[in-house]
A and B are shown apart, each in its own frame.
Chain A
Amino acid sequence: MSITIDKSKCIGCGKCRTVCPGSLIKKDENGKAFIKYPKDCWGCTSCVKECPVHAVRFYLGADIGGMGSLVHTESMGDILRWVIEKSDGEISKIDINRKESNKY
C-alpha cells in the first residue's frame, strides 16, 4: 500500500511532509509534495488526514489485493469523512465522529 499525491491540487503547505513517520514525502522544485520512497509507506494515512485539499490519497498495492480504489479524508469539525473512489467510479463515504468511541 502506498499513497499518491495529485500535484495539480497540492498547494505546497508541507503538512503531509511533516507528519510522515518515515520521512518519505519530499518537495519538488516547485514546492509541491511527492512521495520519494513509495515502497516504504507503512499505510498509516497520517498524510492523508493532514492534507487540506485532498491531494493525498492512499491505495492498496496489487500485491496485497488492491483493485485501484483511492481513499482520501475530509475533516468537518468532529466528523472525519473517509471517501473511497472505486476504479469504476463508484464512491463510498463513511463518516466517523471523533467524539464517539469504537464499539469494539
Chain B
Amino acid sequence: MIALENVSYSYKKWVGVTDVNLKIERGEFTYIIGPTGSGKTTLMRLIYMDLFPEKGRVLINGFDTNRLKNRHIPRIRKNIGMIFQSYNLLSDRDLFQNVALPLHVLGMKRSEIKEIVSEMLNEVGLYGKEDHYPEELSGGEQQRACVARALVKQPEIILADEPTGNLDPITAYDLLELLDTINGEGTAVFMASHNYTLIRDRGHRMVQIQEGKLRA
C-alpha cells in the first residue's frame, strides 16, 4: 500500500531522513518511534506528499513520486487521514463544520454529510458537541475531533504524528484505544511517537528511527 524505497531528504541545515526503506501493508498498525528531531515528521510529510524525496521514491496506491504530477496530490490525500499533535482544527468553525470539511471536498450532499458526521462524532464520543468551537473543547476532545475529521472520509490509512503529545496519560491511552478500534475496522494506522512507554505493550509493529535512519 505504502512503500518508501531508498528515500533520502535533507533540509538546509540538517538531515531529514537518509536511505529509508519501509513498507506499510493494508490494515496494518505501525508505530514509528524515535526522539524529537529524529525524522518522524519528515517521514510523515513524505508520505502525504508535503515533501518529495531527493533520492529514492515513495509509492502510494500505485502513485510514484518520481512520476507524480501536482494534480495527483489531492487524489492521494483523499485516501489519507491525518492527525497532528497540534490538532490543526479551524478555530472559526464549530465541531460539525470542522469534521464536515473533507466531505465537502468530496462533493457530498448536505443530507449525507449531516448523517455521516453525526455517526462519526458518535463513534469518537463527541456526539452532542456539534456546535462547540475548538476552544470550547478539552485537549482530548480536540484530538478526537481531529481523529473524526481524518476518519470521516473513510481513508485507507491514518497518519498520526505525535497525536498524544499534548494529552495527559489517561486521555492519551483513550486515544490509542480509539486508534486500535479504527484499525480493527480495517484502516491502516501509521503513528509517530517519542513515548516508548505508552506504546510498547500494544502489540503492534514498531519501527525505530534515529538521526534520520531506520533501525531494525
- B partners with A: no
Spell out B's residues near A (CB within 8 Å): none
Measured CB to CB, the residues of A under 8 A from B are: none
